[in-house]
Amino acid sequence: MSFPFYIARRYTISRSKSTAVNIITAIATIGIIVSTAALFIILSVFSGLKDYSLSFTNTIDPDLKLTPSKGKSFFVNPKQEQDIKAVKGIAAYSKIAEERVLFYFDGKEQVASMKGVDSLFTTVTPIKFSVQGDWLEANTPQAVVGSTIANKLSLAFYDFNRDFEVFVPKAGKGVIQNPDDAFNKSRLIPTGAYVINDDVDSKYVYVDIGLAQDMLQFKTNQFTALEFKLAKGADEADIRPKLESIFNNTVTLKNREQLNDSLYKMLNAENLVTYLFCSLVVVLTLFCLAGALIMLILDKRENIKTLFNLGAEVKSLRNIFFYQGIFITTLGAGFGVGLGTAVVLIQKYYSVVMITGSMAYPVNFNVMNIVIVLLTIFVLGILASRIAAGRVGKKLLKTS
């Protein structure tokens, strides 16, 4: 053990003769503990909020979505279906026929997306768990409606007395002579409503894919998208080129993050701004550490001069206080992370802080947040300690 390290350790665990120095050192240590805990708690809270926000998209969005690069629809032949099933890492996939259409009920109108889905759709996405009522049955005119749409139209489940209708513009050219010839129309039976959030709940009406294809005048092998659920541990980077090659690179593949890129960018930007703001508080706290070390240098000036006269180099004398700053930073960071972890775990498992009567404030205990906090504290702590230790020089040693 080098003598600067040994002396720094002794200075850290022993009290100074000066009460002021002891108070300043204690304040700096407590400041590091509190700022470390606060930074970790805030990052954990934002991780929880991010997971909570993304949980809505996870309910309706697949792991991968395949759409045509050009146009609105594409065809899937039997050979391509066999090739898709042969791709390792795909647990299930669902065929989709989707279009923005007009829904009509009891004198009220609502434009939304009609999403035709097959029987495997609830395997690909967990939306079935968000449905109040019943999920639609295959080969029927049943429909599952977003709760916002249902409220706007005043829909009731299994209402056979009033018609819930969907109108889809017919494809074609020329002048429309009769308005009735402009739309394909079908009667739907609402069997349930999904409840996720206001934006999503006003977006979709789910129907059987056969009905959607008839309304859109699609062929039986014509779709607007394929949605995939990946097997646990599957490598997305390995699956992508295989799917693209099956369709001769005429399709676009997007994962959940790419489907919601604006949401992810917003959440990441908020997280970064919050981290930078909290880091400024840590910087101010570590200035207190630098001040405490400088006060200690002045308090131990005679001891430093004695060591210098005994042959100690200026670099070694600086390292004494540099190491002491690292020791104080380590103690503060360790206790701070421990305190922050305790607060986060208490909130996670005991729901001390509530948003509503039934919903706890979301937090997420993430090891990466611990790494980020420790790196931030140690980088700034090393910088503050180096600046303070730089006060030890020949000019200080020559003063009486």
Q: Is the pLDDT of residue 18 over 60?
A: no
The answer to whether residues 325 and 285 touch, using CB atoms and an 8 Å cutoff, is no
Taking only the tens place, the pLDDT of each residue in 259-305 is 988 888 888 898 888 898 888 888 888 888 888 888 877 777 787 77
Average pLDDT over residues 307-336: 84
Taking only the tens place, the pLDDT of each residue in 216-233 is 999 999 999 999 999 999
Query: Per mean pLDDT, which range of 60-74, 117-131, 143-157, 386-400 is the poorest?
Result: 386-400
Angle at 172 (CA atoms; ends 171, 178), nearest 5 degrees: 95
In SS3 terms, the chain reads as: CCHHHHHHHHHHHCCCCCHHHHHHHHHHHHHHHHHHHHHHHHHHHHHHHHHHHHHHHHHHCCCEEEEECCCCCEECCHHHHHHHHHCCCEEEEEEEEEEEEEEEECCEEEEEEEEEECCCHHHHCCHHHHEEECCCCCCCCEEEEEHHHHHHHCCCCCCCCCCEEEEEECCCCCCCCCHHHHEEEEEEEEEEEECCCHHHHCCEEEEEHHHHHHHHCCCCCEECEEEEEECCCCCHHHHHHHHHHHCCCCEEEEEHHHHCHHHHHHHHHHHHHHHHHHHHHHHHHHHHHHHHHHHHHHHCHHHHHHHHHCCCCHHHHHHHHHHHHHHHHHHHHHHHHHHHHHHHHHHHHHCCCECCCCCECCCCCCHHHHHHHHHHHHHHHHHHHHHHHCCCCHHHHHCC
Q: How confident is the model at residue 4 (pLDDT cuts 50, 70, 90)?
A: low
Q: Is the pLDDT of residue 85 over 60?
A: yes
pLDDT at 10: 62
The answer to whether residues 215 and 205 touch, using CB atoms and an 8 Å cutoff, is no
pLDDT at 55: 82
pLDDT at 180: 65
Distance CA 146, CA 106 (A): 17
Backbone conformation region of residue 77, classed left if phi is above 0, alpha if psi is from -120 to 50, else beta: beta
Average pLDDT over residues 24-35: 85
Average pLDDT over residues 198-207: 92
Q: How confident is the model at residue 56 (pLDDT cuts 50, 70, 90)?
A: confident
The larger pLDDT score, comparing residue 171 to residue 236, is at: 236
pLDDT at 318: 82
Q: Is the pLDDT of residue 188 over 80?
A: yes
| Tokens read off for 167 | 């109108």
Q: How confident is the model at residue 172 (pLDDT cuts 50, 70, 90)?
A: low
Query: Per mean pLDDT, which range of 216-230, 354-368, 371-385 is the poorest?
Result: 354-368
Please provide the average confidence, as pLDDT, over all residues in the chain: 87
Q: Is the pLDDT of residue 210 over 80?
A: yes
Q: How confident is the model at residue 113 (pLDDT cuts 50, 70, 90)?
A: very high
Angle at 361 (CA atoms; ends 357, 367), nearest 5 degrees: 155
The larger pLDDT score, comparing residue 140 to residue 3, is at: 140
Q: How confident is the model at residue 8 (pLDDT cuts 50, 70, 90)?
A: low
pLDDT at 96: 97
User: CB under 8 Å to 280, separation ≥6 — which residues?
Assistant: none
Distance CA 75, CA 63 (A): 21
Q: Is the pLDDT of residue 123 over 70?
A: yes
pLDDT at 299: 75
Q: Rounded to two decimals, what is the model's pTM?
A: 0.79
pLDDT at 321: 82
